Amino acid sequence: MAISGLPAVVNDFNIYNSGNKLVGISGETAIPDFEMKTETVSGAGLLGEIDVPVIGQFGNNAQEIKFRCINKDFFDLIDPTNPVELVLRGAIQMINGGTGATEYVGCRLIFRGLPAKVAIGTFKQGGAMDSAITLHLTYFCAELDGKKVIEVNKVSPTYRVNGKDLLAPIKKLT
């Protein structure tokens, strides 16, 4: 299905580690921002300063995964010598612009990184522990309707947006 219409809500999602569905995840997962490094350019012929993004250079990205309570899956993710690859798969509910019908588009987000922070949480009778694991990301990929829309790999320098390799001109010169 071509992506058209109005994206309305994330209808449902699951998170997987190495193909195994994680259980006990909270109902919300914030996706990290990807902030490009910039350099301020100024000088003769310019009317002030311009912040220029340095293509393919990103600051640190941290992905937090929240668990309601600790469980085996939680502890499978905290070995700092093994990169973790998490896949978030969801269904985005759309409103068809022509007919008003409800349609769905698949969304897949892939995160790879090393665990950097482990929060066991709190113990409260009758309450969730609000445990969390934070990964420092080395890889991120987003797919909509089965097509990659962004891919960033810091270890094997890759930066693609909508299939366009933004590092290709740089790799030719270096």
Q: Is the dihedral of CA 27, 63, 159, 151 positive or negative?
A: negative
What's the maximum distance between 2 C-alpha atoms anywhere in the chain? 66
The DSSP-derived string for 10-30 is EEEEEEEETTEEP-SB-S--P
The reported pLDDT for the residue numbered 2 is 55
Only one residue has tokens 């740089």, namely 170
Specify whether the CB–CB gap between 32 and 63 falls below 8 A.
yes
DSSP β-bridge partners for residue 50: 41
pLDDT one-digit tens code per residue, 125-153: 999 999 999 999 999 999 999 999 999 99
State the chain's mean pLDDT as an integer: 92
pTM over the 0.75 mark = yes
pLDDT range class, residue 1, cuts 50, 70, 90: very low
Among 23-32, 57-66, 106-115, the minimum mean pLDDT is found in: 23-32
Domain boundaries, the chain: 6-37+51-138
- Tell me the per-residue pLDDT of 57-92, one tens digit each, with 9 for 90 and over: 999 999 999 999 998 888 989 998 989 999 999 999
